[in-house]
Amino acid sequence: MEINTQSPALPAVIVFAIQALFAQSSIAQVYVEADQLLRVIEDQQRQLEEQEAQIQRQKAALDALRQQVEELRRAIPQDPSPPPRIKNHPPEISPSELEAAIAEAPTDWPGSIQVTGTELRIKIGGFAELDANYDTGAIVSPAEFTTSAIVTSDRTAAEGEDGQTNVSVQVSRLELETKMPWGGRQIKTETTMDFLRDTTIAEPILQLRKAYGQVSDILLGGDLLIGQDWSTFTNLNAWPNTLDYEGPNSMLSLRHPIVRWHRKYHPTLTLEVALEAPDERVFEGAVEVSRWPDAVVAVISQTDRFNFQGSFIVRDLRGSGEPQSAVSDTGWGVNLSGVIDMPGRLAPDFITYSLSFGAGYGGLLNDFPADASYDFYENRLEAIPTLAWYIGYQHWWSPCLYTVATYGLVQQDNFDFQPGFAFRETQYSSINLTWTPTPQWLFGVEALYGTREDKDGAYGSVWRTQFTSRISF
């Protein structure tokens, strides 16, 4: 049979046949794909089930962990306090930071700050102190117990004869220190201020206490200090820890401009030589007209149990009693003072003491009796012989509680030409109880008794009770 390719029915048959053929093939593929999809779904179902089982297992583990944590939490004491270092010095130093704590150790000036980009280090310190006191008699030094300020005659209620209370913050202090290396040497400065410019009133008025610079190993192997500091005649180590800001009447405590060289010749022996400003003279009947500076030499010995200073001062006392002439006398003084640490069962108590004598050095004492008196008839200035001593004993009840008891005496031999109200003698006694709950806070009460006697026998005495709170920074 011949196929007529020209017949119109032929393509339709072919197309139908092809369609039928291909239709058969695509149905089969759909079944295959469906099977594959079913297998994928089954796999995923199994995975889901496995994951769900895993989640359940993790949940169980988590619950177990939670339970353990809760048990641990219950076992921990409530509000565990941090270690002392952490408690007192936030931010916290964790135990693992011992390394850092030790690494920070090699600084020879704790508490100082280095100025960025320089070798200069600065330290700021000081304290805020409140003194509240009650006097039973007339005295005109509210912030300090200056026994020479006890009124001996014509006492008035305004001077406190009927009793007076004073509250003062005048002795509060601000200190600024710097240190800087200089070619193997060290330059040090210190500037300190308080508010005690006028001791006859309780109001604070800013006062410069110290302002000096010091260079180490600069002259003959010693250090050189230039500026305002305590007189070299003074032994600060022998200063008893009275709450009264002044301390014993016989304490040498003048601060003024000085040039001081000092050198340690032995670990226990130091020599100091100084020229000090011829200022702060106290003359009766004459005006100070200074000429030469004071010269001071001091030898200091410090051993395990003893501190001792022997110092000698020579002064050119020059003044004018009448406008047309200046007269002078030579003043001198010797001071022996120090600290004795008590032995055996009395340790760590200690004694502080000072004995000074001479003529024309009274103005260096806390009570600043006159250095010299002017004889109008003879037109001369006479240095006044003076004897001053004190002794103090500090007893420790515990490392944070102590008592200091002191007694001091200042006496002058009066000249016939001195006026009747001239200083003759003062006595100073004190006893306190001081508590130092932290290194930064000191808190105490003190009872003080003082007397003053003049040349003409006029006499005054005062009891003072003082409360002190001092917080240092």
Residues at the interface with another protein (CB under 8 A): 76-77, 80-85, 87, 95-96, 98-100, 102-110, 127, 171, 173, 230, 236-237, 239, 241, 245, 302, 304-305, 307, 339, 341, 345, 347-348, 350, 395-400, 402, 434, 436, 439, 442, 470, 472
| Smallest distance from another protein to CB 366, Å | 12
Three-state SS for 229?
Answer: strand
Task: Check residue 342 and report its DSSP letter.
Answer: P
| Smallest distance from another protein to CB 347, Å | 6
Residue 11 phi, psi dihedral angles, 5° rounding: -60, -35
Structure tokens at 159: 């001077």
Nearer residue to another protein within complex by CB, 242 or 418:
242
Nearer residue to another protein within complex by CB, 127 or 145:
127
Nearer residue to another protein within complex by CB, 290 or 472:
472
Q: Find, among 396, 337, 403, 400, the residue nearest to 365 by Cα.
A: 337
Nearer residue to another protein within complex by CB, 238 or 286:
238
Its sign, for the CA torsion 312, 360, 228, 130, is positive
Task: Check residue 270 and report its DSSP letter.
Answer: E
| Helices first, then strands: H and E counts in the chain | 3, 22
Amino acid identity for residue 457 in this structure: G
| Smallest distance from another protein to CB 165, Å | 23
Nearer residue to another protein within complex by CB, 42 or 92:
92
Nearer residue to another protein within complex by CB, 102 or 220:
102
Taking CA atoms, 200 is separated from 212, 279, 425, 437, in Å, by 27, 21, 21, 32
Structure tokens at 422: 């001239």
d(CA 392, CA 242): 9
| Smallest distance from another protein to CB 59, Å | 28
Nearer residue to another protein within complex by CB, 104 or 413:
104
Nearer residue to another protein within complex by CB, 82 or 419:
82
| Smallest distance from another protein to CB 405, Å | 12
| Residues in contact with 307: Cβ distance below 8 Å, sequence separation at least 6, in sequence order | 235, 237, 238, 300, 301, 338, 339
d(CA 194, CA 169): 9
Nearer residue to another protein within complex by CB, 80 or 323:
80
Taking CA atoms, 255 is separated from 9, 224, 402, in Å, by 137, 17, 29
Q: Find, among 380, 376, 408, the residue nearest to 392 by Cα.
A: 408
| Smallest distance from another protein to CB 380, Å | 37
| Smallest distance from another protein to CB 369, Å | 22
| Smallest distance from another protein to CB 196, Å | 11
Using the structure block, give the residue that is written with the tokens 């003043």: 331
| Smallest distance from another protein to CB 60, Å | 27
Using the structure block, give the residue that is written with the tokens 């139908």: 16
CA angle 382, 385, 388 (to 5 degrees): 145
